């Protein structure tokens, strides 16, 4: 019984010792896993797009992601990042299309989907021949090159999801450890657009050390990039992540709890950006990014003085 408990990763309580946790062993060959039965989880019969996961683990060490603390549970294993074979992925999609004939597209939700060039090359050849459904996937702006962009296009990718997080280099790289420059972001959008792949940009509102200035920088960056789809998320510090530790050390982490995550409200109390301001900025950000730029005459009109030191725009 104890061996089975360790294999499944459960909490053990002995008669003479405190409870201890033994994580389950990593499954090295993911092709041994059966395809998921989506009917168990109430998949809608009206859905035309379904999520598929091709692997487990991620080589990136982003400070806001739960992947990094999960990796430390296994003492830095060399085989932490694993992928199913392209044929096994297509087997699942075949079963999916049989169960849900209305399936029109696939979303691969792995953040590490396009990080292994050798695997992606094999996937592109197999998927294009066996499935051919248009799909969307996650792309890392610091790892996309011409070869990877060509493979995504050849496989049938028509939408790429890119986490930009913040227009502030300090927040993006020093706080969240994304190791992504503005030049790499610009190049990623250029490579995708040249191949007719639409872009879905994701930014965060209320990240640690955010101010109204850094939030404005995020708006400016997204307006310059002009993604086909834009999404803003209110930052939530997942437990045991490096970024969460920063918020706790600075005394910004409130006791409002997990309800904030479900309601897309900030759980942080930062003096530079209170929670109510974060919510207001998040609601405005989508409009500011996606709305057409105002005409030039409107800016001049806003500069009209109405009081000493005040203009019409100040209202």
Q: pTM score, two decimals?
A: 0.85
Task: Give Rg (Cα) of the chain.
Answer: 23
Tokens of 197: 């792949």
Least confident stretch, 17-26, 177-186, 195-204, 250-259: 17-26
Question: Which pLDDT score is estimated for 299?
Answer: 67
pLDDT of residue 141: 95
d(CA 138, CA 200): 9
pLDDT above 70: residue 85: yes
Note the pLDDT of residue 195.
96
State the average pLDDT for the chain. 89
């Amino acid at each position: 019984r104890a061996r089975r408990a360790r294999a499944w990763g459960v909490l053990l309580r002995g008669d003479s010792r405190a409870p201890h946790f033994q994580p389950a062993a990593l499954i090295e060959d993911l092709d041994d896993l059966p395809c998921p039965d989506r009917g168990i989880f109430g998949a809608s019969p009206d859905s035309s797009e379904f999520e598929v996961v091709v692997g487990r683990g991620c080589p990136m060490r982003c400070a806001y992601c739960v992947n990094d603390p999960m990796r430390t549970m296994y003492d830095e294993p060399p085989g932490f990042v694993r992928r199913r074979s392209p044929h096994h992925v297509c087997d699942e999609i075949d079963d999916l299309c049989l169960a849900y004939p209305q399936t029109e597209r696939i979303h691969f939700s792995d953040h590490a989907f396009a990080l292994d060039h050798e695997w992606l090359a094999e996937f592109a050849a197999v998927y294009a021949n066996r499935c051919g459904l248009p799909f969307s996937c996650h792309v890392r702006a610091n790892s996309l090159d011409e070869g990877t962009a060509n493979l995504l296009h050849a496989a049938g990718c028509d939408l790429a999801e890119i986490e930009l997080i913040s227009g502030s280099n300090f927040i993006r790289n020093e706080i969240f450890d994304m190791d992504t420059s503005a030049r790499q972001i610009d190049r990623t959008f250029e490579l995708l657009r040249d191949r007719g792949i639409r872009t879905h940009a994701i930014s965060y509102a209320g990240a640690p050390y955010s101010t109204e200035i850094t939030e404005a920088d995020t708006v400016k960056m997204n307006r310059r990039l002009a993604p086909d789809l834009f999404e803003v998320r209110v930052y939530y510090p997942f437990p045991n992540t490096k970024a969460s530790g920063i918020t706790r050390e600075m005394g910004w982490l409130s006791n409002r709890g997990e309800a904030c995550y479900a309601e897309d409200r900030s759980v942080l109390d930062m003096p530079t950006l209170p929670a109510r301001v974060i919510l207001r900025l998040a609601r405005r950000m989508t409009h500011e990014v996606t709305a057409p730029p105002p005409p030039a005459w409107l800016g001049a009109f806003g500069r009209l003085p109405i009081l000493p030191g005040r203009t019409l725009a100040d209202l």
